[in-house]
Chains A and B, each alone.
Chain A
């Protein structure tokens, strides 16, 4: 691979082995997606130089960094729980990198200040990390990583430390910042939604090996393992929002479904919810504040202890239910059921 980031990561620790080839172009965001313990974080740490490679290489922008010490690599890293230095103000956290690179105290603080300003954190510059909200801390961590002017930005589960209510907003902001960054970004996540929304390319890492790689659409189109299939089996729709209702783009038969949102929005929007959020009913459910669609069963697949039910709509959905529910509802191809999703489970993004 002759790309901007060209890495061949091979290492083993105890009975864990990692063998993955990763590549990304300048300005691209590569998501490493996989279950916990699959080796995503090890791959990221290997890129950073925090764990040594047994074999392979790491090249960034044409330079071989394989044997460069951590502090010498052209990287910026955002850790899972951000690891902002608790004894320093937000400003000093951001100024830490430039100081280490030899900038004077005033210059380092000036650079840190302007980064915080761009991220809308000016009023929190003097705050200790302990008093920042999760989203603010994430932005400070991002600013700290960007302050060293890295060519490779590494993000380890950047959304994991946030509570669900702030995720949507923070994810959208993060995408905004990452689009401005002109190096390559590698993002580790176990959440397919993060990968789908944030990444230009996805590399699935399973059992220490690099599996499928490609654009989110490519990976979603042809899942090669049950894990990937379930992972990317996200219900993702395009539509137009008005108030708390999104009218989805019309399907093949020309009928348009609507989805109710927890928060009002307007304009073109992406709407997403995971298959496990979809509940199936034999009769139309009454009374609860959910989205309900009349659909019919298009196929039934088993994944581990769950069953994936493909439903034809509009909208076309996937639902994950228990084997007991399959038997109870008599879910066979062609059967008509009602699919319900609570508005609170639906996420939407402006496009």
Chain B
């Protein structure tokens, strides 16, 4: 009973070692700082060159407020639509076995790589007044989509939904499928498994995808101006207003850009807080 135990090691060296390994290596820190600088400097430039003295007056212009409101509403509606259609699509891509799945996945990402303006033209060709589907909508229901707020939402969904689909598909692939098996052994149908187990478990992924989707929709320009046109109040979103202002008054464009940036930052930070806290 008197044998000393030689296994016990003093604590101090271990702690020191841990402290050293906790410091980030410079090979990561330097590029990271450069990246932050590159991403933040243009924003700082906008702040510096903004016409601060008459900022308040510029912000009260009715066109600014209506463009901001239209942007927030359409981006939110576009995100909701993307979630409603994109989550089932992501599930099919992640879980279902069907011929041509790889091909479908590649197709889904097409809007990410084609220039948005081309996307807008493509939407016109399909859904425009003389479009492949649009002409029938016009003839049968008297429905024309271009130059309406609905067209703004469609253009945003077109460019932004792939972000959501890719993000949610990734979460679905990363999710532990054994939980779904556990639910099945408890008698859950496939639909119940999806709504009560799969969906809650990939909720963070859906949230992240929705944020990306919303941000992309908010900044959408090319497809919107091509497909929905530019009319104050109904189709002129903030990015369009910024572009138009740029033609005549670059300072006004800076003001509008700052407003868009600050509002979207505020929304994103709030959402993030909410998710982190739950």
Chain A in direct contact with chain B (Cβ < 8 angstroms): yes
Closest chain A residue to B179, Cβ basis: A83
On whether the beta carbons of B185 and A96 are closer than 8 Å, the reply is no
- Contacting B187 at CB < 8 Å: which of A83, A85, A97? A97
A79 at the interface (CB under 8 A from B): yes
Q: Which of B3, B183, B184 has the most CB of A within 10 A?
A: B184
B149-190 near A? 1/0 per residue, CB < 8 Å: 000000000000000000000000000101101111111110
B200 at the interface (CB under 8 A from A): yes
Interface positions, chain A 140-180, Cβ under 8 Å from B, are: 144-145, 147-148, 154
B268 at the interface (CB under 8 A from A): no
Interface positions, chain B 1-33, Cβ under 8 Å from A, are: 1-3
B2 / chain A contacts, CB cutoff of 8 Å: 287
Q: Are A85 and B184 CB-contacts (below 8 A) given A287-B2, A288-B3?
A: no
CA–CA, A118 and B185, complex, Å: 22
The smallest beta-carbon distance between A235 and chain B, in angstroms, is 24
CA–CA, A96 and B192, complex, Å: 10
On whether the beta carbons of B186 and A83 are closer than 8 Å, the reply is no
| Interface footprint category on B | 20 to 34
On whether the beta carbons of B187 and A87 are closer than 8 Å, the reply is no
Q: Are A144 and B178 CB-contacts (below 8 A) given A100-B192, A287-B1, A289-B1?
A: no
On whether the beta carbons of A96 and B196 are closer than 8 Å, the reply is yes
The smallest beta-carbon distance between A185 and chain B, in angstroms, is 14
On whether the beta carbons of A100 and B201 are closer than 8 Å, the reply is no
B3 / chain A contacts, CB cutoff of 8 Å: 287-288
A86 / chain B contacts, CB cutoff of 8 Å: 201
CA–CA, A284 and B188, complex, Å: 62
Q: Sample 12 A-B pairs with CB under 8 A, ordered by A number.
A: A71-B187, A71-B189, A77-B182, A77-B185, A83-B179, A85-B200, A86-B201, A100-B192, A145-B185, A145-B186, A147-B186, A154-B185
A76 at the interface (CB under 8 A from B): yes
B197 at the interface (CB under 8 A from A): yes
A311 at the interface (CB under 8 A from B): no
Q: Which 6 A-B residue pairings sit nearest by Cβ, starting from the closest?
A: A97-B186, A100-B187, A70-B184, A77-B185, A83-B182, A87-B200
B194-237 near A? 1/0 per residue, CB < 8 Å: 00110011010000000000000000000000000000000000
- 14 additional contacts (CB under 8 A) given A100-B186, A100-B192, A145-B185: A69-B184, A70-B184, A71-B185, A71-B186, A79-B178, A85-B182, A87-B201, A97-B187, A100-B188, A147-B186, A148-B187, A287-B1, A288-B3, A289-B1
CA–CA, A79 and B186, complex, Å: 12
On whether the beta carbons of A50 and B201 are closer than 8 Å, the reply is no
Closest chain B residue to A154, Cβ basis: B185
| Interface footprint category on A | 20 to 34
B184 / chain A contacts, CB cutoff of 8 Å: 50, 69-71
A48 at the interface (CB under 8 A from B): yes
A72 / chain B contacts, CB cutoff of 8 Å: 187
- Contacting B186 at CB < 8 Å: which of A148, A154, A287, A288? A148
A225 at the interface (CB under 8 A from B): no
The smallest beta-carbon distance between B256 and chain A, in angstroms, is 41
Closest chain A residue to B196, Cβ basis: A96
- Contacting A101 at CB < 8 Å: which of B178, B187, B196, B200? B187
The smallest beta-carbon distance between A72 and chain B, in angstroms, is 8
A91 at the interface (CB under 8 A from B): no
CA–CA, A145 and B184, complex, Å: 11
The smallest beta-carbon distance between B6 and chain A, in angstroms, is 12
Q: Are A85 and B197 CB-contacts (below 8 A) given A71-B184, A75-B185, A100-B188?
A: yes
On whether the beta carbons of B188 and A71 are closer than 8 Å, the reply is yes
Interface positions, chain A 31-88, Cβ under 8 Å from B, are: 48, 50, 69-73, 75-77, 79, 83, 85-87
